[in-house]
Amino acid sequence: MKQICFFIIFIIGSVMVSAQSLADAEAAFGQGDYADAIPGLKAAVDAKPRDAALQHKLGVAYMRTGNYKSALAHLAKGTSESKVAEAEIAFMEYRFDDAEELLDKYEAALKKARKKADPLAAEVEALRGRIDAARNMLDRVEKIVVVDSIAVDKEDFLRAYRLSREAGSLRSVDALPQGMEAAEPTAVYVTPAADRMIWAAPDANENFRLVQTFRLDDGSWEEPRPLGDALGEGADANYPFLMPDGVTLYFANDGENSLGGYDIFLSRFDGEQFLQPQNVGMPYNSPYDDYMMAVDEATGAGWWATDRNRLDDSITIYIFVPQELRINYPVDTPSLPQFALLTSVAVTQQSGDERTAVFDRINEALSQPKPVAVPSVRLSLPDGRVVTASSQLHSQQARSLMNRYVDALRNLESCTKRLDQLRKDYKSDTTLAASIRQAESEESNLRRNAARLRNEVISAECN
């Protein structure tokens, strides 16, 4: 009799523990703590393998932790909503046709069940939009040479970027002047002359926006100013890198034009503002987080970070050879998604010599830093003074504007050199006509901007 009572008590206790475990698991699931939810959900599914709702939750939990194989095994036994989760996995694996077919099946099941309300309507619509965008990008996968990929600590990945002095530097928020607010996390880009910083800071809506500050003649820094509203697109803009021409800006954004998470975008400064950014496409971007693009013209090396390889607390940094002209893979290239996702770095390389040459240039540039040229400036003021440096100005506002004027002259000089080179290359490549027209427009705007700043310097000093 005692044995029977003990057995009954054991069964009741086991049920209570199981029930408590499931309650905790569902609470963790509801809070987005999917890894914590898996053990309890798995125990519940083992006890009730025909419970489609439990199978669905366990499948979603596995999906959110990156275990797609286990996720698909449980989602196949789940509810009709599991089709949407399966479609998301297919999308992440670049099986875009499969993803769309699964969404069609989900909507057909809703129609058959005569359900008027679709709880996943917004999610399905957003996923269809991402599928369409990814298909368009897959038609324009850039053919690049990736010379190396390295796994680094996600918390300290900036140390892996080995940039020449001419490219500027990437620093942590500790480099910011005291009291300046920054997003968490972000990267601080510092120009080669160390007179300008660009980074991300939260705005009034807690979205990240890119801001900049200029160093004044007395060594202090002016109040940060937004780089431009167009860069945020109503979402988070982060991880900036400004090319030495002062015109071309790379940064990351996770808005509606992203495939998912952060994507890398490019914008150009027209002399007055940064223009509407463009997604740089594949293979740089993926459905995962892709960010911190940096292109070092002095070494011929490009860098970007991504978590597409799902390495827990680490991320992957790809080092590639940038091309002056974009060349895409033909759309009928076999295994094109593999080139887009970069499942193998080796397939992008023609020989081992490329890697050696790139790293030789990097090592040489870092061992022999070159001073950054500063444009010569000569301002004739109405009072007869001739000013060649900001330190000769009395007004603090004029000194700040003078620094911007020098920066504008540097940008104009870089743009003019680029335009001259394009015109030379046009003799053997007439497809550069559009690029030349764009560069001419940029040069004109930069020239007007420099003239405006020159007049503002004189006005601030003399009024």
pLDDT value, residue 56 = 96
More confident call, 234 vs 341: 341
On the question of pLDDT at 158 being above 80, the answer is yes
Which of 305-314, 318-327, 344-353, 432-441 is least confident? 344-353
Distance CA 205, CA 224 (A): 17
Predicted confidence (pLDDT) per residue in 323-355, tens digit? 888 999 999 998 899 999 998 888 888 766 778
pLDDT of residue 375: 62
pTM of the model: 0.77
Rounded distance, CA 88 to CA 261, Å? 14
SS (H, E, C) 160-216: HCCCCHHHCEEECHHHCCCCCCCCCCCCEEECCCCCEEEEEEECCCCCEEEEEEEEC
The bridge status of strand 263-268 relative to strand 278-279 is antiparallel
Q: How confident is the model at residue 377 (pLDDT cuts 50, 70, 90)?
A: confident
Q: Where are the alpha helices (DSSP H) in 31-140?
A: 34-47, 52-64, 68-75, 82-92, 96-112, 121-138
- Between vectors from CA 280 to CA 141 and to CA 227, what angle results, nearest 5°? 180
Work out the mean pLDDT of the chain and round it to a whole number: 87
pLDDT of residue 8: 46
What confidence tier does 138 reach under pLDDT thresholds 50, 70, 90?
A: very high
Q: Which burial class, exposed, middle or buried, applies to 18 when counting CB atoms under 10 A from its CB (0-12, 13-18, 19+)?
A: middle
List residues bridging with 291 in a β-sheet.
Answer: 305
Please write the tens of the pLDDT for every residue from 71-125. 999 999 999 999 999 999 999 999 999 999 999 999 998 888 887 778 899 999 9
Residues in the chain: 463
Residue 19 φ then ψ, to 5°: -65, -40
By percentage, how much of the chain surpasses pLDDT 70?
93
Cα–Cα distance measured from residue 86 to residue 128, given in angstroms and rounded to the nearest whole number: 13
Q: Which residue has tokens 């789940």?
A: 78
Cα–Cα distance measured from residue 87 to residue 67, given in angstroms and rounded to the nearest whole number: 15
pLDDT (0 to 100) of residue 114: 80
Q: Write down the pLDDT at residue 95.
A: 95
42-82 pLDDT, tens per residue? 999 999 999 999 999 999 999 999 999 999 999 999 999 99
pLDDT for residue 454 is more than 50 = yes
Q: pLDDT tier at 3 (50, 70, 90 boundaries)?
A: low
User: Is pLDDT at 16 greater than 50 in this prediction?
Assistant: no
The tokens of 218 are what?
Answer: 């007395």
Please indicate whether residue 223 or residue 220 has the higher confidence score (pLDDT). 223
